[in-house]
Amino acid sequence: MVRNRKAASLAKGIFAALPTAFDQAGNVDEKALCFLVRNLLQKGVEGFYVGGSTGECFLLSEAERKEVLEIVLDAAEGKVPVIAHVGAMSTIVAVSLAQHAAACGASAVSATPPFYFSYNLDKIYSYYADIAEASGLPVLVYNIPAFSGRNFGHNEIDRLLDIPGVAGLKHTSMNLYELERIRVKNPDKILFSGYDEVFLPALVSGADGMIGSTVNLMPELFLDIKKLFILGDIAAAQKLQAKVNSVIEALAGGLFPRRLNMRLALPGCPAANAESHFFQFLAKRWN
């Protein structure tokens, strides 16, 4: 249900890329998701990224993606920015999700490039332009070459950042040279790092903040890394980044959203029983 909500303005900072919690019947678990959002707000998280890779976007129906966004917006109560990921293979679906996000009170939208079919840069440009025009919200290009199959060079990113309404970039890539070049050429754009394990190096390369999966597990560490970086205490920040990376190394292996949901089995957190659509299907078919 679309309702009027107060939207926080898009800002820089530490954003949690939220997982999607499901109940035992395979439905979106509103209680668990609200618990997680409110817990992260108490810990100082500065924004939420909804329906992205961590949220298993491409395993959800369009209706489920809209439902999850509305739940998060209600739980966040306009206290921090909420970015809705609307990427899809179809521009029609992406535009529908973007218009819904605008109507619901999201702060911004983000989108992976369309994938599977080989689109040239002109087609991809039109895709982002259509999303920006339809939503009227700031748009973040979601650069994630490992999964999108599209490895943009910084010159291609520069062109996409010139689209009216495109406010910045979520750079989920280990190529920090590209990030640094993008920053130099686009000083007024918002640049988020998307790989938690290189957050500190990304800050050095020009990132304004991060959108990360493991922010759900250890938000304080990322907030402290940012504070120490601003203060110029890089040595202390490096020690915290090493702690982060030890956790990420322990999580490595298997399909990440499920392992993240399992790790969220903290006292009092109903997300402990969360299970992805993919694994629910496997359980029903083979167990």
Q: 209-259, pLDDT tens digit by residue?
A: 999 999 999 999 999 999 999 999 999 999 999 999 998 888 775 445 554
**Catalytic, out of 49, 66, 127, 170:** 170
Q: Which of 142, 189, 195, 226 is catalytic?
A: 142
What confidence category does residue 269 fall into, taking pLDDT thresholds of 50, 70 and 90? low
Which is nearest to 145 in space by CA: 201, 109, 181, 194?
Answer: 194
Q: Give the least confident one: 22-26, 59-63, 75-79, 86-90.
A: 22-26
Q: Is 54 annotated as a binding residue?
A: yes
- The yes-or-no answer on residue 142 being catalytic is yes
Please confirm, yes or no, whether 227 is among the known catalytic residues. no
Burial 205-226, CB ≥16 within 10 A → b, else e? bbbbbbbbbbbbbbbebbbbbb
| Mean pLDDT, all residues of the chain | 88
Q: DSSP 3-state assignment of 46?
A: coil
List of E strands, 21-165: 47-50, 82-85, 108-111, 139-143
228 or 265, which is more confident: 228
To the nearest whole percent, how much of the chain has pLDDT over 70? 85
20 is in an annotated binding site: no
Task: Identify the structural domains of the chain with CATH numbers, from first to last.
Answer: 14-286 (3.20.20.70)
The whole-angstrom separation of Cα 4 and Cα 224 is 34
β-sheet bridge partners, residue 15: 47, 211
Do you know the residue count of the chain? 287
* Tens digits of residue pLDDT in 70-116: 999 999 999 999 999 999 999 999 999 999 999 999 999 999 999 88
What SS3 state is found at 124? helix
Q: Inform me whether the pLDDT recorded for 194 exceeds 90.
A: yes
